[in-house]
Structure 1
Amino acid sequence: MTELSYTHGTSPTALLGDTIGANLDRTVAAWPDREALVDVESGRRWTYAEFAADVDELASALLASGIAKGDRVGIWAVNCPEWVLVQYATARVGAVMVNINPAYRTHEVEYVLRQAGITLLVASLRHRTSDYRAMVEQVRRNCPRLRETVYIGDPSWDALTGRGTAESRAQLRTRGSELSCDDPINIQYTSGTTGFPKGATLSHHNILNNGYFVGESLAYSEQDRVCVPVPFYHCFGMVMGNLAATSHGACIVVPAPSFDPAATLRAVQDEHCTSLYGVPTMFIAELNLPDFATYDLSSLRTGIMAGSPCPVEVMKRVVAEMHMAEVSICYGMTETSPVSLQTRRDDDLEHRTGTVGRVLPHLEVKVVDPVDGVTRPRGTAGELCTRGYSVMLGYWNEPEKTAEAVDPGRWMHTGDLAVMREDGYVEIVGRIKDMIIRGGENIYPREIEEFLYAHPKIADVQVVGVPHERYGEEVLACVIARDPADPPTLAELRAFCEDRLAHYKIPSRLRVLEAFPMTVSGKVRKIELRETYADRD
């Protein structure tokens, strides 16, 4: 009898029952003098004792400002130490921190401020073309619950942090006993392809345990130094980065306010980082730096690559040239805190590039028929679902949308097409909405992308389906050339595929681009590629 596509993670290590604040207290008690946080750009450093003191100072200031348990505090900022302080201080007082994408503009930030009911907003002053103060001024009249905005690097930040009183400090000492690990503590807005984003609401229990078990899989200890160039506003940064580090006494290293490949490698070298995070496009950018070979990356042993599938050739270089022999692939989504599946330190190259790993401890995953919900046999494609401690409490104030994503059995439906192998490892073969249907044939873009990465003229590639009058859809390959002066032609691409791919999988259209449209978290916006080039030759 064929085994079904269901598996669950067992572990002798129990789930944590702590709040984030209580867990930080444990770490501080164990390693008060070890470094907790380093901001490379400003040169500022905190030991765990110093970090906890600043977290408590900010937490008591929040209490003195009238922030009550359950109040929403927004953070609209690029990566900086203040972001991390806000993360842990809001957890200390039981406020719900609302992460706001730094790329948002007025229309989007106004929606989040209103939908979440944010009462206090902490924001950057400026970054690149974003003037956050000017944007707040444009929308604040439409956000009646917003009482105060504080800007990092501005006197308003100092005024906030200095607001604590003897009374608020005493209140903070008792607040911990009033909090439950199941309290909502974080809202993260997921970037939908249609309509407004939805606010995934997460508890202490959700994100603390997910960060902890990701760190366990990477064998983190107080000896580790984790370089986090991915954005804090996303789970990758604040959970897999910050919480994985602090739950193990490791150090968080912030290389720059936003991703910069050279700054990232300098931070690894100068801070002797043992772990490095990124999406595949970040690692590609680092590996392609003209002076890549001059950086000393020998301190690295591990790290995480997530967000999209990892090309085989990129993984080979990360292991060999970046010394990340124990690098891990993670799969997840904001609604699941985020990681459900992860490769392990001793997995071979094929498992790290052909799969997204196996289920984490205390979680369940299954692959089901997208139509009737019946669990599929192993080796066959279907929708990936996950269940367990990591599944969100729900979308903030949107019970109907929550019910569409989380079924009555508490299974989170991911929207991803997956295949579970006989050994329990899972392959992601595409998004249900990204699958190309050409003349009745189902085509999974990742298969074609992996094949085209081997083309000598292609540095990066994304495959999407675009409308076709006869076949319904046709295959468009969007590529970045290794040498911009000598890009591949469609004829060369098709000749490369001939007799090696089924005819219906061979791209019939080609676009050579300088860069792909990206989200702030580093994912390629395939929907934008489809929309932009749908009607172009």
Structure 2
Amino acid sequence: MTVAATVRDAPHASFREAGYWLDKTVDQLLTEAAAQAPDKVAIVADRADREQARRFTYRELEKLAERAASALLRLGVGRGDVVTVQLPNWWEFVVTAFACSKIGAVMNPVMPILRERELLYILNFCQAKVFVVPKTYRGFDYAAMAQGMRAELPHLKHVIVADGEGETSFERMLLSSEADKLPAGLSPDDMAVLMFTSGTTGEPKGVMHTSNSLVACCKALSGRFGLDTSDVLLVASPVGHMTGYAAIVLLSVYLRGTMILQDVWEAKRGVGLMAREGVTYTAASTPFLSDICDAVKAGAPQPTSLRSFLCGGAPIPSVLIEQAAAELGLTVCSLWGMTEVLSGTLTEPVRAAEKSAGTDGRPLEGMEVRIVDAEGRPSPTGEPGRLLVRGAQMFKGYYKRSELTTFDHEGWFDSGDLAYMDKDGYIRISGRVKDILIRGGENVPIVEIENLLYKHPAVAAVAVVGFPDSRLGERGCAFIVPRSGTTIDLATVQVYLGEARMAKQFWPERVEVVDELPRTASGKIQKFKLREIAAAFADVK
């Protein structure tokens, strides 16, 4: 496949003509919402350490964003400058995001779990001028960490502390003065958000998205789910990840709906919030869905308004989909996406019961997918190949990484995923290109093995990788986190897979029981680290 570009060409007239790009900036969404529904509640900000949730109308949110935008200008932040924000799901994150857009600054959300090593790399790479952190969150002192890094961050001018005190507090630095007249902010094709990839390959990259790609995501999701101004969206997924930021926060403002921010995921509290606030939609990974079902079964109030659950990041066990439908009346829709792609494919609600467990959806409006073999030829239906994607939600390119080729001459992006397509055009992710395990010349179906093991009552989490073998090329090792109070070993795994009628040549030859799996900031398993560990098992049977 001939690669022809490192940055996506812009503008794309075809996206505009088809209505996928609306040429609206992120801050325009808020300004329009404040003009048309000023007194509607925009945010309900729930915090685990507070009894009462704080509420903001669209008029109040717009005013706060204007104040913060003016303050950032006075701090020397201008068009194209990066503002790094390491906040949990707090209202201050939302205000900062819209403030950045109003002055043409670049919002750079990072996950709260990151520490000095990752943050020093990101902040220096971006040359961030401002770093916004919480004073403390979940027992960790972020303000102290940020101040301790100052000597190694020559470009950083200001640390702003949400819940802080004194001159560096969020309230004092960004909200204490009235707004000035603001200059022109972003254009729809400017970089609006810079978000670093999860780093499953070991090399995080800065992904550039524009307002057009972000708003295209909101438009596509709202269309497929049939969402409107009456919807109430729970933001329990971290806002430092595209699921929380684009697929819920921005979507809520796009709809002129109401977002419910939950800063610490605790299922009983989350379900209580859903019931109290009338939540209709949320987006999260499979564990959130499982937690919700378990909480209701344990006596938490029934979230009767909740009708749509966008679920991505891993295959959804069919038993969980059935449980959600039977016990909650909830439609679970599978999605495939990534930081670079936003929402690529999604199962629509009317076919969710049929398709969500076995597929990752079909392309959303304005998106295209193609599955090709090693020579770049289309793979037949049901045959796995490399998943290529292009469309209105695609990223602009990798920040300061012009050496990384990304798009071919037709605009296709190689996702790095392996997938196959069914006769109806729905795809199923079958693994990562770099995760292929070839044992004795046979491609081992890693995802299928992991899905089976996940259903074992003793398995809380599992990842299968290969390790070198002189005779077979590779053998399989299953890293397993056992559930509390249970045990599991190789013999148990092999008996279980045998009972499931899986071909013996696919069984892992080694099981490593671990306390946890290495994960990225967004929760993805870092298999490259597991392969490094497993390499020590070479030729060990």
Q: By the TM > 0.5 criterion, same fold?
A: yes
Shift of 1:136: 2.0
1:33 aligned residue: 39
- In the alignment, what sits opposite 1:381? 384
Aligned residue number for residue 472 of structure 1: 473
Shift of 1:350: 3.8
Question: Aligned to 1:317, which of 323, 328, 351?
Answer: 323
Question: Kindly tell me: are residues 515 and 263 of structure 1, through their superposed partners in 2, closer, same or farther at Cα, counting changes over 3 Å?
Answer: farther
Q: Which residue of structure 2 aligns with residue 161 of structure 1?
A: 174
Distance 2:17 2:509 in 1: 48
Letter in 2 for 1:465: G
1:364 aligns with 2:365: no
How far residue 344 of structure 1 moved from its aligned partner, in angstroms, is 0.3
Higher alpha-carbon deviation: 511-520 or 45-54: 511-520
Amino acid at match of 1:131: D
Residues 130 and 457 (structure 1 numbering): CA distance in 2 closer, same or farther, change over 3 Å? closer
8 Å contact 1:101–1:520 — kept in the other structure?
Answer: yes
Partner of 1:175: 184
Q: Which of 205, 219, 237 does residue 198 from structure 1 map onto? A: 205
Paired position in structure 2 for 1:302: 308
Q: Write the letter of the residue equivalent to 1:66.
A: G
- Paired residue for 2:395? 392
2:128 to 118, 142, 165: 118
- 2:261 matches 1:254: yes
CA spacing shift, 1:84–1:463, aligned 2, 3 Å: same
Q: Which amino acid aligns with 2:329?
A: H
CA, structure 1 residues 366+232, in 2 after alignment: closer, same or farther (shift >3 Å)?
A: same
**8 Å Cα contact 2:466-2:534 kept in structure 1:** no
- Is 2:229 aligned against 1:229? no
SS at match of 2:348: coil
Tell me by how many angstroms 1:139 deviates.
Answer: 2.3
Cα deviation for residue 34 of structure 1 reads 2.0
Matches within 5 A, 1:92-491: 92-128=102-138, 130-155=140-165, 156-162=169-175, 164=177, 169-170=180-181, 172=182, 174-176=183-185, 179-194=186-201, 196-256=203-263, 258-289=264-295, 292-325=298-331, 327-336=332-341, 338-369=342-373, 371-401=374-404, 403=405, 405-458=406-459, 460-481=461-482, 484-491=484-491
Q: Tell me by how many angstroms 1:470 deviates.
A: 3.0
Cα–Cα, structure 1 residues 69 and 352, in superposed 2: closer, same or farther, change >3 Å?
A: same
Kindly tell me: are residues 162 and 10 of structure 1, through their superposed partners in 2, closer, same or farther at Cα, counting changes over 3 Å? closer
CA deviations on 1:189-235 (whole Å, 9 max, x unpaired) are 11324554211111111112112311222221121111111110110
Q: Secondary structure at the match of 1:498?
A: helix
- Give ranges in structure 1 of 5+ residues lacking alignment: 1-7
* Higher alpha-carbon deviation: 511-520 or 181-190: 511-520
**Structure-2 residue corresponding to 1:4:** none
Letter in 2 for 1:221: D
Q: In 2, Cα distance between the equivalents of 1:107 and 1:478?
A: 26
- The yes-or-no answer on 1:56 pairing with 2:43 is no
- Tell me, in whole angstroms, the C-alpha distance in 2 between the residues paired with 1:82 and 1:107: 25
Go from structure 1 to structure 2 and tell me whether the alpha carbon gap of 1:230 and 1:391 turns closer, same or farther (over 3 Å shift). same
RMSD of the TM alignment (CA)?
Answer: 2.6
Task: Confirm or deny: 8 A CA contact 2:83 2:130 kept in the other structure.
Answer: yes
Q: How far, CA to CA, are the matches of 2:421 and 2:437 in structure 1?
A: 21
Q: 2:7 aligns to what?
A: none
1:109 positional shift: 1.0
| SS at structure 2 position matched to 1:230 | coil
Whether contact under 8 Å (1:64, 1:164) holds in the other structure is no
Query: Partners in 2 of 1:289 and 1:469 — Cα distance?
Result: 49
Q: How far off its partner does 1:38 sit? A: 0.8
Q: Which amino acid aligns with 1:227?
A: L
- 3-state SS of 2:315 partner: coil
Q: Do the aligned residues in 1 keep the contact of 2:202 with 2:528 (CA within 8 Å)?
A: no
When residues 289 and 159 of structure 1 are mapped into structure 2, their CA distance, relative to the original with a 3 A threshold, is: same
CA distance in 2, matches of 1:21, 1:10: 19
Determine whether 1:44 maps to 2:54: yes
Cα distance between partner residues in 1 of 2:351 and 2:15: 17
